[in-house]
Structure 1
């Protein structure tokens, strides 16, 4: 029997070397067909070795069991990588679990040292192979992650730091799990379990940081890093234990993937309004990736990474975080019905407890001022709390714009249009949110005008045939921005009227000229907004006969209703001079728009659509009020 084991060890060592070469074959194209071809070659090797190891299980040799479990787990992840039905991967992984849980005593130090690494790897793999909506509580993704965590904690409790599990795969980056997609995205999509999900994701990221130096040292020690060949034939050299072969399958800690996953985790903390933790995730991600890839003499954080997908993705998530804070503060000031409950806001951010990394440089660049001028605590506070006044809002605005600019270096409109559209829309939104905090009326107008310019320029570059959905969204946002700019200019006109007094040094001629100029500007902006709303509504017309659809898609129904609502408002607020008949014409247009909105809403409600919008009831009341106002207006006055 020893001869069979020796023969298997020798063949397994050769297989490990071949697997290593196939897994890390260089390729400039991540979608290269050669990579996928290698994965199927890897599958063939793994199937052969797993079958041979399984035949040795009857011997009771735990080393054979360890190798069989490892080959089988790697094979299961190969099925996941090639995006095949996950049931095959689950069945193979469950076979390993069943064997280990029936034959291995993890209460003994020897078995725990030998199998804890393998079981962590298998349990984590099962979490990914399990469907998100699994009904059986014992087979859920979180169930398997809890099992992996319990093994890890038991190992830390029973084994001192001088020894590591024999199967080191659990300490490597989870490269085989769907190409490094963060577990928080792939496994934890069940919203009812998001808190526990984030905890597991955080634990995984912490372990990767903790063990990355250990793995590097291990690879160097055993010769994998410098391509030394490991011999296991007893006739050639001293036999090498199975743990040494398992080491050769390790990958080094990949800071790119770690940074992407950590930045993605920030989205969860934003949802729960733990902004301090979200900020730490983003700053740590930027710090780790820059320390790994940036030259020491670079002028700024991420300078050498500009234009890469990695830096663009992290910058995009950063911009979403800062824009979210800016939006939240804006809504509080406006008194919106979507105002966030102040009791839920993280007003005393917890920073630095997640990863314990020095992120001073990243914080300084985000804040925009040297640390000598501002304390670290102040920086963290202002970057993790919704702004209440213009200075804090302006700081977040500048940070948002810098992050968006970094993202747009990779997501260019002429190359990656869909992503670029979202980034440019976010840039326009930032101007709108900042305007909320600005007290100076002319400056508010400039901000809204910049917002309009960004959206109109973006719309002009898009072909509606290919980007109709995006065009509709941009039309709606642009019309809203034009309406806001119109209202600001109307406010400017009112202030000019109030400022004028009998004792004013301005001549009446100059006052009338200024008011006339402002009135034309107000009406011009209102007309542009009306035209934009009309473009939006016309985009839904049936191409064959230019008729509106019987029923709108549920996703777009609110947009259509609000387009009629705001069009009615713009008609009613048009500044009209001359005979009352001119005023009545505008009121009639407004009433028709309100009536159209009510008609569409009622029609869809009868068809089973959920139309729960307070604006519909307002429009219903306005049709009656406007009808009375029109009736009371003398046309020949």
Structure 2
């Protein structure tokens, strides 16, 4: 690169860069930006020494262009060898650093002005080896700035423009370009081609990372996942990652694949997260991470807990997906569907190799082997029987215990409760695969034992929604246990008083918690709402239906009590029918339960009349 450069300019610029790198906590507490302001003053001196920017029609046009016009359809790169061009390039580099400086000190409008000026100066040269890296970095910073303003379309345009320019440059030129720090260095101090390449690829990786965030914000989830995967893959390839951050991003990506029911891809992301997280504290400190990640134990344990929660979701969703594919219309195991899925299993295994080629793959060599070793211990095909489901359950439970080590009820109430609810859900779905009814009862009992203590400690005023969720879940667990005990009793010729007492006890507990849930919907005057909110409509209708059914299941030898129970049961069935007549949207939420309620509304009065007649005769 030609063009004489005086020692004063060079020294001031290097001093400005050194001050820019000073960490905020090393400044005085009352002047956190002292070093940034010092760097800014030096950069402004350098700009003054370089002289004013030349007037140029191209620059004026660039100022009028939108961000998307500034990297598209680039002409042949203008020659940057002349002294005039060199001064323009150096001025642009100073404008770039001033822009970043102002953004770092939270002066966003001023930062934007400097970055736009940088782009204006560089526009004619943007595809040249001297300028492309600065140009892309300026656009990346503007993309982040507009994203923080929640002007996502503008941010997207800048970032997509950077991506297009990178691709065009690599296709047409390809040589490692100059880094922004090199424009003020003597020839003998310039970076090696290898270092330039490393820095330029890092700039592009950042571009992809920011694009992933923007697409996520725009709910373009497929694109966001693609860019997130590309970012993670490139970070590994270029050995430019922080293990803890990389692992949590990979684990987060797994959640996208879980929601898409792509379990092989999700398993790969989580396995890679485990392996890379294991490197935390073993990677030496760098310019970007002056302190080793292992020096922050609280953050380490938090991230470990977050990755564990992603594993829990993997196990739970895979088991629940298997349940959905094998259950009949009342939620029990359908043996015919189970047989069909067994027949399909062989086909799934035969296709495994081709699926693997489409799956997300991270790492090469030893790293790839380490990730595969974790993967091989975890199934990705839907479990078809209790033993296969139990494998996933035990893995999920292992991560429940790991997550609870950090997310304790003291300090992390909501997170802790969510982990416990997931643990309960694991037991619930495992019970679906269990054929022994007594053992199923014990699984539901375990759920109740872990859920009941939660609502004792929760203030319903602050945790109303969580309280409702838990009350409903406990009620349903008691309800399932009662159904199982009734089924066990039905198989006996003469159920003893102990079983009858147990059924009634479970019934009473289920009623208690359903009633607590329904009472939580009442207004401050204890009046039940005429219009039930959309967010609780289905659970409220289900609670009413199950309360009606529970009253009909109470076993009693007292005819008067029996009649009272039937009347209460009818009252709840009638509520469902009447509510759905006046609120058609509710009918869509509980189609099956509504039909059964209508049936019971027509049958129960006759049954009650027969009962009264029988009582009158005795």
Is 1:275 aligned to 2:301, yes or no? no
User: How far apart, CA to CA, are the structure 2 residues paired with 1:315 and 1:445?
Assistant: 28
**TM-aligned CA distance change 1:118 to 1:521, over 3 Å:** farther
1:216 matched residue in structure 2: none
Query: Taking structure 1 as the reference length, what is the TM-score of the superposition?
Result: 0.73
SS of the residue aligned with 1:261? Answer: helix
Cα deviation for residue 87 of structure 1 reads 7.4
Within the alignment, does 1:398 sit opposite 2:394 as a pair? yes
SS at the partner of 2:462? helix
For each residue in 1:572-619, what CA deviation from the matched residue of structure 2 results, as whole angstroms up to 9, or x when unmatched?
22233353x4433222111111222344445555xx989643134543
Distance 2:131 2:431 in 1: 60
Q: Residue 414 of structure 2 corresponds to which residue in structure 1?
A: 418
Deviation track 1:546-588 (CA, whole Å, cap 9, x = no partner) reads 2234444332232222211211121122233353x44332221
Task: String of CA shifts for 1:478-499, please: whole Å, max 9, x gaps.
Answer: 11111111111111112223xx
Q: Output aligned runs, 1:169-568, within 5 Å.
A: 171=202, 184=212, 187-191=215-219, 193-212=220-239, 253-293=241-281, 308-335=301-328, 348=352, 349-350=355-356, 351=359, 353-356=361-364, 358=367, 376=376, 379=377, 382=379, 384-497=380-493, 511-513=494-496, 516-543=497-524, 545-568=525-548
**Deviation for aligned residue 1:438:** 1.0
Aligned to 1:234: none
CA distance in 2, matches of 1:600, 1:475: 23
Give the 3 Å change call, closer, same or farther, for CA 604–352 of structure 1 in structure 2: closer
Contact map agreement 1:133 1:190 (CA 8 A) in 2: no
Inter-partner Cα distance in structure 2 for 1:336 and 1:156: 58
The counterpart of 1:626, out of the listed 595, 598, 604, is 604
User: RMSD value over aligned CA atoms?
Assistant: 4.1
Equivalent residue for 1:60? 85
Structure 1 residues 393 and 305: alpha-carbon distance in aligned structure 2, compared to 1, 3 A threshold = farther
Contact 2:209 2:228 in 1 (8 A): no
TM-score, structure 2 normalization: 0.75
Greater shift, 424-433 or 145-154, is seen at: 145-154
Q: Deviations over 1:296-355 (max 9, x none)?
A: xxxxxxxx9997111111111121122111221122222469999999x99745356244
Check conservation: 1:120, 1:152, Cα contact below 8 A: yes
CA distance 1:185–1:146, change in 2 (3 Å) = closer
How far apart are the structure 1 equivalents of 2:393 and 2:541?
Answer: 31
Q: Which runs of 5+ in 2 are unaligned?
A: 55-83, 177-192, 284-296
Conserved 8 A contact 1:312-1:406: yes
Write 1 or 2 for the structure with the bigger share of helix. Answer: 2
- The Cα shift of 1:413 comes to 0.5
2:15 counterpart residue number? 14
1:135-174 correspondence to structure 2 within 5 Å: 139=154, 141=156, 143-157=157-171, 158-159=173-174, 162-163=193-194, 165=196, 168=199, 171=202
Q: Aligned in 2, Cα 1:167/1:146: closer, same or farther, shift over 3 Å? A: same
Contact 1:459–1:474 (Cα < 8 Å) also in 2: yes
CA gap of 1:53–1:266, structure 2 versus 1, over 3 A, is farther
Identify if the C-alpha distance between structure 1 residues 208 and 602 changes in structure 2 by more than 3 Å, giving closer, same or farther. same
CA distance in 1, matches of 2:259, 2:34: 40
Alpha-carbon deviation of 1:470? 0.9
In structure 1, stretches of 5+ residues that fail to align are 28-32, 214-252, 296-303, 368-375, 498-510
Alpha-carbon distance in structure 2 between the residues aligned to 1:74 and 1:388: 56
Whole-angstrom distance in 2 between the partners of 1:413 and 1:43: 44
Q: Distance in 2 between matches of 1:272 and 1:322?
A: 14
Kept after mapping to 1: 8 A contact 2:468/2:517: yes
